[in-house]
Amino acid sequence: MAGCGHRACRGIRSPGEHSWHCGGKRGTCHTVGAVPSDQAGYSSVTRRIVSLFCCLLVSGALASDLPTYEVSPIGWVRKSEGKVTIEIEPRYQPALLGLDQFDSIWVFYWFDRNDTPEKRNILQVHPRRNPDNPLRGVFATRAPVRPNLIALSRCRIVSIDGTTITIDGIDAYADTPVLDIKP
């Protein structure tokens, strides 16, 4: 099925009419859970991330005609028997060339377990969830609730074997989608 033709959600496949709602805004173009046609073979988490990004970006595009972007995981955080790894999708193995020259990496990942409209709308928090701490805007904290749920951790590289990067630890759950890695 062809997309609706709106610049921000071109290529969305959805049965029947599709509509979106995000952050209190409403419109006709997108439904949370719709799959962009070029993402049809991806996992449900990838499709969910893309759909949620589309929801966020469609609302922004209608409000101010912003460009749209798509993000898909390059890998996943894995935790087993006290060992923490990042499993990179095999198609991205060539991107690991030279990474073994570094001691540590920045890992960008998605706070997927906080991905609800309610949590995305929280803009002020008490740091470390302690009400004794003064209220701050989420951009002045490391809180996992924020409009765009992108997280960042500095991790020491223990080893790299094929598409598996063993790290010393990360403040993320097992199976958290990894968006990017930088030295």
What is the Rg, in whole angstroms, of the alpha carbon atoms belonging to the chain? 18
Strand partners, 161: 164
Distance, CA of 111 to chain centre: 7
Query: Is 11 exposed, middle or buried, given 0-12, 13-18 or 19+ CB atoms closer than 10 A?
Result: middle
Let me know whether 41 and 110 are in one domain: no
pLDDT of residue 175: 97
The answer to the question of residue 176 being in a domain is yes
Among 18, 41, 64, the domain boundary falls at 64
Let me know whether 93 and 156 are in one domain: yes
- E strand residue ranges, 28-144: 35-36, 75-80, 83-88, 104-110, 124-125, 136-137
Let me know whether 121 and 162 are in one domain: yes
Let me know whether 113 and 148 are in one domain: yes
Among 21, 38, 64, the domain boundary falls at 64
Let me know whether 82 and 48 are in one domain: no
Let me know whether 144 and 58 are in one domain: no
Let me know whether 109 and 136 are in one domain: yes
Let me know whether 156 and 96 are in one domain: yes
Let me know whether 87 and 170 are in one domain: yes
The answer to the question of residue 79 being in a domain is yes
The answer to the question of residue 1 being in a domain is no
Calculate the alpha carbon distances from 171 to 109, 133, 176 in Å.
10, 21, 10
Over residues 45-96, the pLDDT tens digits come to 554 554 455 444 444 444 457 777 788 999 999 999 999 999 999 999 999 9
pLDDT-derived band at 133 (thresholds 50, 70, 90) equals very high
Let me know whether 30 and 106 are in one domain: no
Let me know whether 157 and 129 are in one domain: yes
The answer to the question of residue 69 being in a domain is no
pTM across the whole model: 0.63
The answer to the question of residue 169 being in a domain is yes
CATH, residue 122: 2.40.30.70
Tell whether the model's pLDDT for residue 23 goes beyond 60.
no
The answer to the question of residue 175 being in a domain is yes
| Higher per-residue confidence, 19 vs 157 | 157
Work out the average pLDDT over 158-172.
Answer: 97
Let me know whether 55 and 124 are in one domain: no
Total domains in the fold of the chain:
2
Range of the domain at 89: 75-182
